[in-house]
Amino acid sequence: AQSVTQLDSQVPVFEEAPVELRCNYSSSVSVYLFWYVQYPNQGLQLLLKYLSGSTLVESINGFEAEFNKSQTSFHLRKPSVHISDTAEYFCAVKGGGADGLTFGKGTHLIIQP
């Protein structure tokens, strides 16, 4: 079985400042890792994913995440946030033959002007 821990339920940050949303996972087998974003009153959208290969993955809107196997982490970063990045961010893991995704509790990113 897998589990995902998102250490911060809320992260307030000023516009144009950098941000890091933390995600740690637990699994006894190799996993695939995902970040999903849920904008206000919208459905879940895939932001980025790690399946294999380069441990640094990027999204089209400037976010990046790095898979660190030794620390079992997949933290999400952006060097400069915008008001439009205000949303709930979910880290998820899948592996070991599991059918569905195991999600963390989510982190609410609040951008302050």
| 26 belongs to the binding site for another protein (CB under 8 A) | no
Sign of CA dihedral 39, 36, 106, 9: negative
| 77 belongs to the binding site for another protein (CB under 8 A) | no
Q: Measured from the CB of residue 103, what is the shortest distance to another protein in angstroms?
A: 4
| 51 belongs to the binding site for another protein (CB under 8 A) | yes
N-to-C CA span, the chain: 41
d(CA 9, CA 99): 26
Binding site for another protein (CB under 8 A): 32, 34, 36, 42-46, 49, 51, 90, 92, 94, 99-106
